[in-house]
Structure 1
Amino acid sequence: MTDLNRESVDDVFADPDLVRHLREELAAARETEDFNMQLASRVHRSLLPSPIRHPRIDVDVRYSPVETLSGDYCQVRFPDPSSCYVTMCQVRGPGVAPALLATRVSSEVRHLILDCLRPAEIVRSLNEFIYDHFHGANMSLSFLAAQIDLDHKTIIYSGAGNATVLHLRTPAGVVGRLESQNKVIGLQKECLGKEPERTRSLDAGDRLLFFTGALPQSIDATDERSGKHQLEQLATDAVSSGLFDMADKILDQVSQHHDGPPKKGTTLIDAEIK
């Protein structure tokens, strides 16, 4: 630092009015930033579905972010009387950029659902969109799309990256797993696997638990397979509860597995076929 610079700094700290003015400006800037982040968080939360009580299916949703903003998003829509679509994604990374991309995913997927595309086609179309528009931005996401046929009681599922659906039945607990068949979205031009979607039959009273990899990682950050196994046991223990109590019971138990505060936010959807 030159003598002139030292003198300039000394002059600033020697002037109490100037110091007070700078502190007020800094406090105002921080307040504006906090307000903008809170507003962005409210916009993001407004995209998430509320619990649904439907004559043919009930759906409950839980969203537990660690930070003000996150890249988690989910959607539940009924494009026609016999179909219920459930989609969920987790954009990797904290902060504003993943949250903005999750918002864009929400808009893109909404149109794909309204066109009644099959789940694998939704995954393919979303990957093409993300790759074409954001390739090189080092952004990728796990994603799942499920189409529940309420007439024939089936679920058609397509997952990309680290996304899973558990099929549960009272009192047995977990009776099936639908794991991702496709690559993480956004990294390659083509992401679909050899069997990009699967169909599974359901019965009245069956439940479905939708989640991304953040949930089992919250249970065991060092061993994802162990985390998934423990999550299945928690889901089995909670399946005898009412549907709208089940998610809270699972998340309460998940919180007890944390070694300190959770490092990742979680989104959980559970549904019951009628």
Structure 2
Amino acid sequence: MEPVERFQLDALAYLQCALGLLGSVVLRRMDSAYGRYASPGPAFRVPARAAWALQELPSLAVPLGVCAGTAAERLRRAPNRILLAMFLVHYAQRSLIFPFLIRGGKPMPLYTFVLAFMFCIYNGYLQSRYLSQYAVYADDWVTDPRFLVGFCLWLIGMLINIHSDHILRNLRKPGETGYKIPRGGLFEYVTAANYFGEVVEWCGYSLAGWSLQGGAFALFTFCILFTRAQQHHQWYLEKFEDYPKFRKIIIPFLF
């Protein structure tokens, strides 16, 4: 059974790569339906805080369930435990902390919420099952340059993501409405500093784990967030005449 499931996990990783590329194409051809882009139509919507908390929660709950319900032999080794902890720390922040810091926030269309919820189940299972049952690392992997650089990138990316979200939350003073140009942090260089942080985070996770499953997640993240960042960048350029033209889309000094 083990070779069969290992093959299935690899197949799921390749499928995730394909979904990322397909999702990027689809997002380019249709308007996003969240936040500032959501139309005021009659479609059923989920309150912002509830949507973010519930849609991200499977990426925390599924891995905990996978590990609790199986022997999780590989988690006896430090590299596997650290890598899984990296994944869980991010989603603990995204599902248990981030949603409750949101100020206002527009309700999310139900289908957008459902798609995000399903992806988090998918990816939570893929990453946790692989790390808990099949990922094989030497005991000294935690001193390997790939792990050390990857871990540092993961930590830096998470801090950038959290700091950038803080800037976005505090753009408006109490009682103010409307949109403003983000200032401070990496927003001085790119339009989507929060997305840049998340891309760096998962690229670091992928490097530290050196696996197909981690690489697939990083590729999926980049494909989706880069496309969204392009949409944000164009929106700011059209909305604000004084928007800094030197700012890149998502990667400082590149694009």
Say yes or no: TM over 0.5.
no
Relative contact order, CA 8 A, sep 6+: which one is greater? 2
Rg larger in 1 or in 2? 1
Q: Which has the higher strand share?
A: 1
- TM-score, length of structure 1 as denominator length: 0.27
- TM-score, length of structure 2 as denominator length: 0.28
